[in-house]
Chain A
Amino acid sequence: MKEIIKKIEENKLLLTVPNSIYEKEAILNASYKYTDKCYINIEPIETITEIYFQKKNESINLESIALDFGNELIDQQIRLTTGREYKVIREELVKKAFSSISK
């Protein structure tokens, strides 16, 4: 299996994800969830995106975070993909809900 998690320094780790599967918004949304534990840098390079995690404090287990991040990324991408399907419906729903009071 291709190595996607790479330890760079003692407190720094690199996760590489394919752009063909994950969109920028999904990567950003997933990253946001870990901003309390890590400093995160995101660098898109051609067909991949590199995500650098740096510990905010010693008690943080970076490998465990990177593994969780993978799952979170999947959830975020599902939200985007399915969200696209019902986007118009959501807009229509809110519009209809307030149609009686909108000017």
Chain B
Amino acid sequence: MNYQILPYRFERLNENIFLSNEVGEYLFLNNENFNRFIEHKLQPEEKAFKDLKSKQILADNNIDDVIEMLATKYRTKKHFLTEFTALHMVVATLRCNSNCSYCQVSKKDLCDVNFDMTKKTAKKVVEKIFESPSNNIKIEFQGGEPLLNFEIIKFIIEKVEWTNLFRKKNLEFVICTNLTSIDEKMLKWLKGHKVYISTSIDGPKELHNLNRPLHDIDNSYDLVTEKIKLCRTYLGNDSVSALMTTTSQTLNYFKEIIDKYIELGFNSVFLRSLNPYGFAKKDKHILSYPMVDFIENYKKALDYIIDLNIKGKFFSEGYASIILTRILTPFSTGFVDLQSPAGIAISGVIYDYDGDVYVSDEGRMLASVGDKKFKIGNVEINSYQEIFNGDYLHELIENSIAESLPDCATCAFLSYCGADPVRNYSEQGDIIGNRTISEICKKNKSIIQYILSLLQRNEKDINKVFWSWIARKSFEI
């Protein structure tokens, strides 16, 4: 044996063999070189040998050192495990003044204050948050429309800030809001507490209003865009980010959606497919579309965005940026939907208005239609240990390690992907799920393959665009 083969995975891709190692370093080999590689016939002077060695897929000497280096990189990739729960989502209320076609949380009537979080519950939520060992705490207020219970948001932020005088954690606050009820008084208060805003823009006026009408008026677009400007005036230009959700009505308009995001002053968009929860699942026949259609439109949109960047406009796509960071850097990206083990509860967790704790927002969405499969406790009844170190959560996590799941275990794209037991359960009624019929696997795999094929072209301009997305700043092309 002239060399040692190190842990790797492979997949046939575009007439070549794509190989990746445990930490996501990759290369392409032609068939002949791949066959010679596995037969131990490559010679040290060959390019393929040198490439494989530099990517730590083979080693011919100092194997212990190579393992040590790979272990360090592996630990960096899995850094989110040592952090534990950093993202704490809090449902301030389930009441909402929006009437979104795809509402995934089954919102409640505007006047039904029984669905507001009380101070008693909020106090317990804050106690649980501070029991998390993580040094970084991000609190994200969700709804319904959380601003309809602004008093509880203020109560929680003030309590967290007070507690943190002694705990010294790195704090971040985000409100996920449709913005329609925000006013100057609220903004003045939010400015004093360094709160970020995450809102929803589904595209140009007609498309946005189609997906996201308000309870009493259809034209929410004008109001939201006006409020975005107001937020920027008070909180700063970078204080507002936006998300979009793709329905069958907006699927063919990614170019228009991207143009609108640029016009509104955003420098990124996250092209999100519809998640099968709440009304989005109930009205699937109206709102949904085949995943292959989403993938094809996504690829065209990505090409369009890359082209915009090459022409000098810095603008990124969120999902591609995450995948690229995983492919091209040794760092952990902390995207809870795409981790192994899954980020459920151990990276992000959600506290519902009544104190029930769910492993993820999607777990809470399932509960809103009566299925509490992913409830792991209640802040008023259970201790931190019971919620976050219980047998049930252990079982869920053990079943969400992609490295041991059927098909994922041998998938060459594993390092860039993750496990999503809640999505598997929602789609297939089983937390492990069958990859061959998994919509989310189809989406992740296709998009990762497409990004890899763009990298394989090794075009200077595209590479610069990708690195600018990772660095989050414009590079001169």
B is bound to A: yes
B158 contacts chain A at the CB level, 8 A cutoff: no
Q: What residues of B have a CB within 8 angstroms of the CB of A98 in the complex?
A: 75, 78
B402 to chain A, nearest CB (A): 14
Q: Which of B6, B75, B406 has the most CB of A within 10 A?
A: B75
Contact indicator B406/A78 (Cβ below 8 Å) = no
Known A29-B410, A97-B75: A90·B7 in contact at CB below 8 Å: yes
Known A36-B436, A101-B82: A93·B70 in contact at CB below 8 Å: yes
B439 to chain A, nearest CB (A): 12
Q: What residues of B have a CB within 8 angstroms of the CB of A94 in the complex?
A: 71, 74
A39 contacts chain B at the CB level, 8 A cutoff: no
Contact with A along B425-442 (1 / 0, CB 8 A): 000000000111100000
B27 contacts chain A at the CB level, 8 A cutoff: no
Contact with A along B62-84 (1 / 0, CB 8 A): 01000110111011001000100
State A33–B70 Cα separation when bound (angstroms): 30
Q: Which of B76-95 contact A (CB under 8 A)?
A: 78, 82
List the count of A-B residue pairs having beta carbons below 8 Å apart: 64
Q: Which of A2-10, A44-52, A59-67, A79-87 contacts B (4 or more CB under 8 A)?
A: A79-87
Closest to B407 in A: A32
A35 to chain B, nearest CB (A): 5
A103 contacts chain B at the CB level, 8 A cutoff: no
Q: What residues of A have a CB within 8 angstroms of the CB of B38 in the complex?
A: 78, 81-82
Q: What residues of B have a CB within 8 angstroms of the CB of A101 in the complex?
A: 82
Contact indicator A32/B406 (Cβ below 8 Å) = yes
**Chain B residue total in the interface (Cβ 8 A):** 27
Q: What residues of B have a CB within 8 angstroms of the CB of A29 in the complex?
A: 407, 410
A76 contacts chain B at the CB level, 8 A cutoff: yes
Q: Which of A10-55 contact B (CB under 8 A)?
A: 29, 32-37
State A35–B9 Cα separation when bound (angstroms): 22
Specify the main secondary structure of chain A where it touches its partner.
helix
Closest to B410 in A: A79
Q: What residues of B have a CB within 8 angstroms of the CB of A32 in the complex?
A: 406-407, 435-436
A58 contacts chain B at the CB level, 8 A cutoff: no
Partner of A76 from the list B4, B6, B410 (CB cut-off 8 Å) is B410
Q: What residues of A have a CB within 8 angstroms of the CB of B410 in the complex?
A: 29, 76, 79
Q: What residues of A have a CB within 8 angstroms of the CB of B75 in the complex?
A: 97-98, 100
A5 to chain B, nearest CB (A): 21
Closest to B71 in A: A96
Contact indicator B78/A97 (Cβ below 8 Å) = yes
Q: What residues of B have a CB within 8 angstroms of the CB of A97 in the complex?
A: 71-72, 74-75, 78
Q: Which of B350-379 contact A (CB under 8 A)?
A: none
B26 to chain A, nearest CB (A): 16
Contact indicator A93/B407 (Cβ below 8 Å) = no
Contact with A along B396-419 (1 / 0, CB 8 A): 000000000011001000000000
Closest to A85 in B: B5
Closest to B63 in A: A89
Known A35-B436, A90-B22: A82·B5 in contact at CB below 8 Å: yes
State A71–B8 Cα separation when bound (angstroms): 19
Contact with A along B251-285 (1 / 0, CB 8 A): 00000000000000000000000000000000000
Contact indicator B67/A86 (Cβ below 8 Å) = no
Q: What residues of A have a CB within 8 angstroms of the CB of B67 in the complex?
A: 89, 92-93, 96
A79 to chain B, nearest CB (A): 5
State A69–B368 Cα separation when bound (angstroms): 42
A97 to chain B, nearest CB (A): 4
B188 contacts chain A at the CB level, 8 A cutoff: no
B398 to chain A, nearest CB (A): 15
Q: Which of B1-58 contact A (CB under 8 A)?
A: 4-10, 12, 22, 38
Partner of B74 from the list A37, A93, A100 (CB cut-off 8 Å) is A93
State A93–B72 Cα separation when bound (angstroms): 9
A25 to chain B, nearest CB (A): 10
State A29–B410 Cα separation when bound (angstroms): 9
A65 to chain B, nearest CB (A): 12
Closest to A98 in B: B75
Partner of B68 from the list A76, A79, A96 (CB cut-off 8 Å) is A96
Q: Which of B7, B38, B437 has the most CB of A within 10 A?
A: B7
Contact indicator A93/B7 (Cβ below 8 Å) = yes
Partner of A36 from the list B71, B406, B437 (CB cut-off 8 Å) is B437
Q: What residues of A have a CB within 8 angstroms of the CB of B4 in the complex?
A: 85-86, 89
Q: What residues of A have a CB within 8 angstroms of the CB of B5 in the complex?
A: 82, 85-86
State A90–B407 Cα separation when bound (angstroms): 18
State A29–B435 Cα separation when bound (angstroms): 12
Closest to B74 in A: A97
State A98–B63 Cα separation when bound (angstroms): 19
Q: What residues of A have a CB within 8 angstroms of the CB of B22 in the complex?
A: 90, 93
Contact indicator B437/A33 (Cβ below 8 Å) = no
A49 to chain B, nearest CB (A): 19
B414 to chain A, nearest CB (A): 12
A68 to chain B, nearest CB (A): 11
A-B contact pairs, 9 of them (CB 8 A): A32-B407, A79-B10, A79-B410, A86-B8, A89-B4, A92-B71, A96-B68, A99-B71, A101-B82
Extra inter-chain contacts (4) besides given A35-B434, A75-B12, CB under 8 Å: A35-B436, A86-B5, A93-B22, A97-B78
Closest 4 CB pairs of A and B: A96-B71, A36-B436, A97-B74, A90-B7
